[in-house]
Amino acid sequence: MCGIAGKIYFSAGEVSSEAISAMNNTLIHRGPDDDGVYISADKKVGLGHRRLSIIDLSSLGHQPMSYQDRYQIVFNGEIYNFQEKRVMLEGLGYVFKSKTDTEVLMALYDKFRKKCVDHLRGMFAFAIYDEKNRTLFCARDRVGKKPFKYYTDNSVFIFASELKAILTQAEYRKEIDPVAIHHYLTLGYCPAPLTGFKDMQKLEPAHHLFIDLKTGKIEKERYWKLDFAKKINLTETQWQERILDKLRESIESRMIADVPLGVLLSGGIDSSAIVALMREGKNRTIKTFSVGFEERQFNELESAQLVAQKFSTQHTEMIVRPNVIDALPNLLYQAEEPFADPSILPTYYINKVAKEQVTVVLNGDGGDENFAGYRRYSLHKFSLLFEEFKWINNWFCLPIAKFLASKFQSDFLQRAYLFSKSLQEKYDYRYANYTCKLSMKMKDSLYQDGFAEKISGLDSNSLIAEKFKEANVKDKLDQALYADFSTYLPDDLLVKADTASMAVSIEGRSPFLDHEFLELSAMMPFSLKVKGLFFRKYILKKAFEHILPKEIIEQKKKGFGIPVAKWLRGDLREYVQSILLSEKAAARGFFKKEVVEKMLTDHMESRHDYSRQIWTLLCLELWCLEYFE
């Protein structure tokens, strides 16, 4: 992996090498092996790069890289099919000096211009400056694995892999974006293009920017979209064969590296499947890495050990304890945006353990999005079936659930009431509520008057509901998959993966997120992903039932979370109170201190589980302390 940066003046102003170097210096963790700066002859364009060497470790991979005495590129990512494309280009007369995918990418741009992205299979964020035409072409991969963030006004365009690089430039003045904060509190992340910083944006996945420096015109265009409407009719056996064949292909393409490589083995079916196919028929060394917890309901180490033993891997593991909270402020600094996914902590530590032995790791990210692995898909399917009997819910279930929830202190009864109540809502809004951190009602009670005025009328759930419509498919279950693929995956899971890996200078690769594999799974009927109501990942498990141990196939999903509720009532109690009830937190003008205090008290005394809400508030305040103190 690498870090990229750049600055372009449209009119007055000159880019200095010092300005680009300052941006580069904030990205050293993304690329500790090398750095470079390019300044155009007219000093209107500056590009910067930090390199983590993975392929072609020679100096020929140095960036910014020049091509044909015309193009300059800064590139972050890996193009897994670059050797195939190189052969194709050589047949067209192109000559290459290095063995890098970067040079192949520039040749593809020379030949196909904007359409070059259609030829790329991999993860990427890059910018190519055409000195002859004075244009800048920037693109981000289809899924959003690699970040691309930018700031622009009438005079300047500044971009980088990370916001902290842009913050070094005098043209941008830091300011919190209240709209982003409002949406973050519901979602637990900042939805693209928002970042938490006012006027700072992130380029959406599968989009590119084309900038004409002569006119200052910026064009943004989407170049790819996952299509759930095109279904194909295959037998279960044929689907299993296709899944295995395509996943094998995806894994093998991601094993190209000139540095040591390993696997993050959680113990779930996704990462276990990757280990199994890596071992299949090959006498290769496989290094696997796992983390676990003392709390058994969160611990998957036994499953990981079972897989490691069956496939004879060199296995390393560690136990995560409450003191890992010490890393949270730095991780939120690295994430740059308000971010409330607690699994960033174990993800960081498993990458840290792996970094001691390897430079590249494969992971199981994307398995749940491909094969409907989250519990909310079962809940969504059940709610759609229950809609046929709304009158039963409205007349009987809802009144009873409401009475019991008010009468007894029980999180189960509270959830049952909320589910029954949600059936009165439209299905897309209802689905959005399944994942929300703080509901609109809760936010209304928390907000100070001044902050409430700034975000008046903004509905966070509508952002998810819009994705249901954007899916352009009739099946309401496929709409939910598309919504998660377009929001939760790129803005939460992939931010977590990139942040946690780059913090320790390690590259993560995700075979399940290969765009051809995604296109294949999108053609599959939802009924093969969730069989009945509760058999999730059905077809994936069938494909691996004779390959993986029975215990792995049959185990219930645990996810990769941490025991937040318990930790907040125990080891982290004083820490959380000191942060959220501080004078600094109250002075920000977001929340009413007395409401936050009651939420903390109710949780600490086990009257209600507010762990998700408290963690979301905690991460926001820690982010503010990192960037606005």
d(CA 536, CA 343): 21
3-class DSSP assignment, residue 530: strand
Phi/psi of residue 490, each to 5°? Answer: -75, -35
2 labelled catalytic: yes
Cβ-based neighbours of 237, under 8 Å, separated by 6 or more: none
Nearest Cα neighbor of 461 from 208, 273, 183 is: 183
Strands, sheet with 507-509, edge to edge from the N-terminal-most edge strand? 314-320, 287-293, 261-264, 360-362, 507-509
CA 298, chain centre distance (Å) = 21
- List beta partners, residue 135: 130, 212
Half-sphere CA count of 290, side-chain side, radius 13 A: 25
- Let me know: does 278 contact 306? Beta carbons within 8 Å: no
Q: Are strands 135-140 and 207-212 parallel, antiparallel or unpaired?
A: antiparallel
Q: How far apart are CA 288 and CA 311, in angstroms?
A: 10
Spatial distance between the Cα atoms of 614 and 575, rounded to a whole number of angstroms: 12
Bridge pairing between strands 217-222 and 207-212:
antiparallel
Residue 11 structure tokens: 């009119």
Q: Are 236 and 528 in contact, with CB atoms under 8 Å apart?
A: yes
Which residues does 506 contact at the CB level (< 8 Å), separation at least 6? Answer: 1, 351, 354, 355, 358, 359, 360, 361
Q: Count H helices, E strands: the chain?
A: 30, 19
DSSP string, 55-91: S--SGGG-SSEEETTTEEEEEEEEETTHHHHHHHHHH
d(CA 501, CA 508): 7
* Chain-centre distance for alpha carbon 326: 22
Catalytic residues: 2
